[in-house]
């Protein structure tokens, strides 16, 4: 059942959330915010609509109608989700939350849902920031949140093929804890690592630890097992195959609309023994982009190649004085990587990059950055309680469009946000992943909002950002998925004929349209 230590309204664990005093203190960094934080309502004050569903006796033991469970499964973790929760606006909670403990439970729950026109929303860690787990209308008789967290085991570890069979409900830390004794790691560390699951990563094509080469979880999948209303699909364990279009690639990114991923054989990694890392500074962001392009096209494959623009560098304490900072890192379980780092630093130098001492051991730097990185969502919630509007969005585009997009977000989106809120936003950018033909920029927008209108203002800002991305032929998402919030731009981005294929696949695997309705296709 639901973990009482988890926050029902915001990120992560209750006791890690900012206190009222910390919220007020944080607010001092941003002029124009509210005097006092929005109070956190108690679940008992939410007055959720009564459940419209009652599970059949055989499934009752798997299902909860507890308001705490239903409230915690109503939204994901988008800014608009957190704010609506704070205002107690939970109009469409799931009628029931099911906690299957095995595949048979899932099959029975799907059968029940199918024959009763019940919407089923597969739920991993609930960390979606794109409305991926929130039911929004439709004509279903009720909504069932299918929480897979009870399927959290590493079932097999195969040292010969260096692979592991892992259940979809495994959260990042539990998964790594179970691989560690074998000397392995999945090395998939999204910001949501603690509070997201393998199944969620696979369904949303999450990107994680590696800045280059194998950035998305996709490339570590050896085989998938998926339960659909039409039956079970399991692919053969193969290192690679050219036999027709890849079956796994159809389910990767399907966001719970085609089936419920229950387990996967994942290619795991030896734990790294050699690492080398350094920050490199640039006076001009444009030069830094050129340096990163050169490194991305060099075949060096750094594991970390994170470029922080001046605002981001300042905020994270990596640099001051308008400098951009590139954090370069290499790792290997088998051989030293100092030479690769030297090659990368040399390439950066050709574009004006100056290597800096990382001010402390590489481990310290990584640890401190990492803890700050993991605290960010809690601070986002604290700012939200002070009625700041915080929007983060990420994208990918080809190199020729990168600087133009960056400037358009700074200027056009900045102007739009000022028009919406009357205030000047802080807009920062970092490159989280890079490829030979383009980067994946990640933007953070922070601006004081109008208390009571935060969601409406956020929606306007989100729409303005989406339009700018679309007009620059940038993806509506690189790794946050589509969900419901990105649908308008996803629909314009994908080839229309592929949308038809997706609808056909949906009709084939989910003929009654019960799985995560509204996501990807209608």
Q: Is 460 annotated as a binding residue?
A: no
The reply to whether 478 sits near a copy of itself by the rule CB under 8 A is yes
Binding mask 313-342 for a copy of itself (x = CB under 8 A): -------------------xxxx---x---
| DSSP three-state, residue 276 | strand
The reply to whether 230 sits near a copy of itself by the rule CB under 8 A is yes
Structure tokens at 201: 């990563």
- The piece of 43-51, 144-152, 158-166, 312-320 that touches a copy of itself (CB under 8 A) is 158-166
- Per CB under 8 A, the list member of 178, 387, 396, 410 interacting with a copy of itself is 396
- Per CB under 8 A, the list member of 509, 515, 516, 517 interacting with a copy of itself is 509
Q: Is 123 annotated as a binding residue?
A: yes
Q: Interface residues for a copy of itself in 90-149 (CB under 8 A)?
A: none
Sign of the Cα torsion 483, 486, 490, 491 reads positive
User: Could you tell me how many residues of this chain bind a copy of itself (CB under 8 A)?
Assistant: 93
- The piece of 44-52, 56-64, 114-122, 491-499 that touches a copy of itself (CB under 8 A) is 491-499
The reply to whether 158 sits near a copy of itself by the rule CB under 8 A is yes
CA dist., res. 150 & res. 171, Å (int): 10
The reply to whether 306 sits near a copy of itself by the rule CB under 8 A is no
Query: Which is nearer to a copy of itself, 14 or 162 (by Cβ)?
Result: 162
- Per CB under 8 A, the list member of 118, 252, 260, 465 interacting with a copy of itself is 252
- Per CB under 8 A, the list member of 299, 322, 349, 422 interacting with a copy of itself is 299
- Per CB under 8 A, the list member of 57, 240, 357, 371 interacting with a copy of itself is 240
- The piece of 18-26, 58-66, 192-200, 224-232 that touches a copy of itself (CB under 8 A) is 224-232
Q: Is 124 annotated as a binding residue?
A: yes
- Residue 112: in which H helix or E strand, if any? helix 103-115
Q: Is 192 annotated as a binding residue?
A: no
Q: Is 467 annotated as a binding residue?
A: no
CA dist., res. 332 & res. 322, Å (int): 33
- The piece of 50-58, 228-236, 417-425, 446-454 that touches a copy of itself (CB under 8 A) is 228-236
- Per CB under 8 A, the list member of 12, 438, 441, 517 interacting with a copy of itself is 438
Single out the residue of 416, 395, 404 nearest to residue 486, CA to CA.
395
> What is the CB neighbour count within 10 angstroms for residue 36?
13
Considering the candidates 135, 378, 442, 490, report the single residue annotated as catalytic: 442
Q: Is 204 annotated as a binding residue?
A: no
Q: Residue 263 — φ and ψ, nearest 5°?
A: -160, 165
Query: How big is the chain by its Cα radius of gyration, in Å?
Result: 23
Q: Interface residues for a copy of itself in 197-216 (CB under 8 A)?
A: 204-207, 213, 215-216
Sign of the Cα torsion 194, 198, 200, 204 reads positive
Q: Give the total residue count for the chain.
A: 522
> By the 8 A CB rule, do 71 and 84 touch?
no
Cβ 42 to a copy of itself shortest distance, Å: 36
Structure tokens at 391: 């929007």
The reply to whether 462 sits near a copy of itself by the rule CB under 8 A is no
Structure tokens at 142: 């009720």
Q: Is position 442 annotated as part of the catalytic site?
A: yes
- Residue 342: in which H helix or E strand, if any? helix 338-349
- The piece of 178-186, 294-302, 445-453, 458-466 that touches a copy of itself (CB under 8 A) is 294-302
Q: Is 324 annotated as a binding residue?
A: no
Single out the residue of 163, 207, 159, 206 nearest to residue 186, CA to CA.
163
> What is the CB neighbour count within 10 angstroms for residue 247?
17
Query: Which is nearer to a copy of itself, 35 or 496 (by Cβ)?
Result: 496
> What is the CB neighbour count within 10 angstroms for residue 465?
23
The reply to whether 304 sits near a copy of itself by the rule CB under 8 A is no
CA dist., res. 280 & res. 292, Å (int): 11
CA dist., res. 168 & res. 217, Å (int): 13
> By the 8 A CB rule, do 309 and 296 touch?
no
The reply to whether 482 sits near a copy of itself by the rule CB under 8 A is yes
- Per CB under 8 A, the list member of 250, 386, 388, 409 interacting with a copy of itself is 250
CA dist., res. 402 & res. 439, Å (int): 7
Cβ 378 to a copy of itself shortest distance, Å: 25
Cα dist from 41 to 53, 86, 385, 446, whole Å:
25, 6, 12, 24
| DSSP three-state, residue 506 | helix
CA dist., res. 451 & res. 91, Å (int): 20
Annotated binding-site residues for substrate read: 380
Annotated binding-site residues for FAD read: 122-128, 255-261
Annotated binding-site residues read: 122-128, 255-261, 380
What is the set of active-site residues?
A: 442
């Amino acid at each position: 059942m639901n973990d009482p230590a988890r926050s029902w309204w915001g990120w992560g664990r209750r006791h890690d959330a900012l206190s009222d005093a910390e919220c007020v203190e944080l607010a001092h960094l941003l002029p124009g915010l509210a005097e006092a934080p929005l109070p956190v309502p108690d679940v008992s004050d939410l007055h959720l609509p009564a459940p419209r569903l009652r599970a059949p006796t055989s499934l009752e033991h798997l299902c909860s109608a507890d308001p705490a469970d239903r409230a915690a499964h109503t939204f994901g973790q988008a800014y608009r989700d957190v704010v609506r929760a704070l205002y107690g606006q939970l109009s469409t909670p799931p009628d029931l939350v099911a906690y299957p403990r095995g595949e048979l439970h899932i099959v029975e729950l799907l059968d029940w849902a199918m024959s009763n026109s019940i919407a089923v929303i597969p739920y991993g860690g609930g960390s979606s920031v794109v409305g991926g787990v929130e039911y929004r209308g439709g004509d279903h008789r009720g909504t069932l949140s299918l929480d897979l967290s009870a399927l959290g085991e590493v079932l097999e570890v195969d040292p010969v093929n260096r692979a592991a069979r892992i259940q979809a409900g495994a959260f990042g830390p539990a998964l790594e804890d179970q691989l560690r004794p074998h000397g392995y790691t999945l090395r998939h560390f999204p910001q949501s690592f603690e509070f997201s699951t393998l199944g969620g990563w696979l369904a949303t094509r999450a990107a994680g630890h590696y800045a280059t080469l194998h950035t998305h979880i996709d490339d570590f999948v050896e085989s998938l097992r998926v339960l659909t209303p039409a039956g079970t699909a399991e692919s053969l364990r193969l290192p690679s195959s050219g036999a027709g279009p890849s079956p796994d690639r159809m389910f990767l990114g399907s966001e719970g609309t085609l089936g419920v991923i229950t387990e996967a054989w994942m290619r795991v990694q030896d734990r790294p023994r050699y690492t080398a890392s350094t920050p490199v500074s640039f006076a001009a962001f444009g030069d830094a982009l050129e340096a990163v392009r050169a490194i991305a096209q060099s075949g060096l494959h750094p594991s970390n190649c994170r470029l922080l623009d001046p605002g981001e560098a300042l905020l994270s304490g990596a640099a001051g004085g308008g400098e951009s900072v590139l954090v370069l890192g290499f790792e290997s379980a088998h051989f030293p990587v100092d030479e690769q780092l030297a090659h990368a630093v040399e390439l950066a130098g050709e574009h004006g990059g100056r290597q800096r001492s990382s001010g402390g051991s590489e481990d310290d730097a990584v640890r401190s950055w990492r803890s700050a990185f993991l605290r960010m969502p809690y601070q986002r919630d604290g700012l939200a309680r002070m009625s700041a509007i915080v929007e983060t969005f990420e994208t990918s585009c080809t190199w020729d469009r990168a600087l133009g997009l960056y400037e358009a977000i700074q200027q056009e989106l900045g102007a739009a946000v000022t028009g919406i809120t009357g205030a000047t936003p802080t807009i920062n950018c970092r490159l989280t992943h890079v490829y030979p033909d383009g980067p994946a920029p990640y933007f953070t927008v922070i601006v004081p909002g109008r208390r009571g209108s935060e969601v409406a203002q956020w929606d306007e800002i989100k729409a303005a950002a989406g339009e700018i991305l679309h007009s620059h032929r940038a993806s509506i998402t690189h790794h946050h998925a589509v969900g419901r919030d990105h649908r308008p731009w996803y629909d314009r981005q994908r080839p229309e004929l592929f949308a038809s294929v997706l609808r056909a696949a949906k009709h084939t695997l989910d003929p009654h349209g019960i799985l995560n309705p509204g996501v990807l296709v209608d």
